[in-house]
Amino acid sequence: MKGLIKPVRLKKGDMVATVSPCNGWAGDQKIRWKYELGVSRLEELGLRVIAAPNSMRGSDYLSKDPKARAEDIMWAFENKDVHAIIANVGGNDSIKIIPYIDPKVISDNPKIFIGCSDVMNLHLLCYHSGLASFYGDNLLTGIADQSGWHEYSRKWFVKTLFDPSPIGKIECSNEWTYEPVDYFDPEKKRTFYPNSDLEIVSGSGSVSGRLIGGHTGLMELEGTKIELHAEDYDEAILFVEDIPEFFGENCIRNFFEYLGQKGILLRLNGIVIGKSDEKGSFDARSEIIRQIVSGKYSCSVPVLYGLNYGHSSPACMLPYGALAEMDLEKRSFSILESGVR
C-alpha cells in the first residue's frame, strides 16, 4: 500500500467547503432545506461552511457539466482558507469528473476530504495522489438527518477529525436504521431499531492492516486512472460498504470471485463489511462469502460483518491508510492510530 499523508486536524473556526461531485441535488429548490440543515449542524461544531462555486447550481446544470463539478474539487483543495471538504451527496456520476481533476492539486494541498458511496471514486483519486481521506457520511444523509445528527455519527466525526490521538475501538451503535433517507419531507423521520454486534463471517484470530476500500464497484474500475492494483491490497484490511444496488447475493458472489481471481484475497490481512441497509439476516450472503473465500480459494483471511458505516445509519468514519485491527475472538474492530495530525 502507498504511504499516505495525514491531513491537519480540524479546530473551531476552521472552514469546510461543500462540494457536489456526484450530482447537484443540494442546489435543487425542493432539497435546499436539507443542505441548510446540514450546514447548521457543522456550524454547531464551531466550523464555518462555504459552498464551492458550482456546487449549488442544481441537478440540471451539474448533470450536464462534469467539468464544473471537477473545478469545484480543485477550487476547494487550492483554497488556502478551506481546511476540509465534504461531499453533499452520493449518486452514480462521479467517475465522469475524474479526467478533469489534476492529482497534483490534491497532493500539493493535503486536507480533509469526506464522503461515501459514489464519492469512493474521489477517495481513490486522493489515495493515488498520496492523501489519506475519510470514508464517512455525506452532508445530506447522516449529518442532515431529520431525526437529528445521530450522536454515534457525530461522536466519530469529532473524534476522527478533531483529535490527533489514536481513534481506538469502534463499538457497534446501540441502534441503527435501514430506512432510506427522505430528501423532500422535512418532517419525515426514520425509525431506529436495536443493533447487533459484529458477526464473524469467516476466519479466526486477530489481524492488523491499513484500511483501504469502498464498495463492490471497485471491480468496475479496471483500466481507469483510479483502479486499485493488486499491490495496493498488500497486508491491508479491505472495507466494503453495503450499497443496495451493489450488494445483492449475485453482486457479493461476483465481487468475492473478483478478489479471488485477481489474487487479492491472498494479499489481504482482513475484510470488514459495513452494516447492511436492508432489514433481515446477512446469513445467505455470509454463506456465499465462505464458499468462495475458504472453499473455492482455500483462503483463511478473516471477514467481519456489521460495522456501522456506509449507507445504513448511524456511521463511523474510516481513514484510508490508517492502521486497524480486527479481533475475531473479541468480535472487535479498532483503529490503532489517528486519522489526522
Q: What is the mean pLDDT of residues 24-48?
A: 98
Residue with more model confidence, 248 or 158? 158
Would you say residue 272 has pLDDT above 80? yes
Mean of pLDDT over the chain: 97
Secondary structure of residue 304 in the 3-state scheme: strand
Q: Where are the domains of the chain?
A: 15-164, 169-335
pLDDT at res. 19:
99
Nearest Cα to Cα of residue 153 among 181, 125, 130, 118:
181
Q: Average pLDDT in the 309-325 region?
A: 96
Query: Does the pLDDT of residue 278 top 80, yes or no?
Result: no
Share of the chain above pLDDT 70, in %: 100
pLDDT value at residue 50 = 99
Confidence of residue 314 (pLDDT cuts 50, 70, 90): very high
Are 128 and 13 contacting, i.e. CB atoms less than 8 angstroms apart? no
Task: Check for a shared fold between 15-164 and 169-335.
Answer: no
Residue 259 has a pLDDT of: 98
pLDDT band at 281 (very low <50, low <70, confident <90, very high): confident
Burial of 255 (0-12, 13-18, 19+ CB in 10 A): buried
**CA–CA distances in Å: residue 21 to residues 55, 125, 208, 258:** 8, 13, 32, 27
CATH number of the 15-164 domain? 3.40.50.10740
Does 246 or 176 have the greater pLDDT score? 176
Q: Is the pTM of this model over 0.95?
A: yes
Q: Which amino acid belongs to residue 219?
A: M
For 291, the grid coordinates are 464458499
pLDDT of residue 327: 98
CB 97, CB 69: distance < 8 Å: yes
The reported pLDDT for the residue numbered 311 is 87
> Does the pLDDT value for residue 244 go beyond 80?
no
In the predicted model, is pLDDT for residue 246 greater than 90?
no
pLDDT grade for 269, boundaries at 50, 70 and 90: very high
pLDDT, residue 279, reads: 74
The model's confidence at residue 106, banded by pLDDT at 50, 70 and 90, is very high
pLDDT over 90 (residue 232): yes
Domain 169-335 fold? Glucose Oxidase; domain 1 (3.50.30)
pLDDT of residue 96: 98
DSSP 177: B
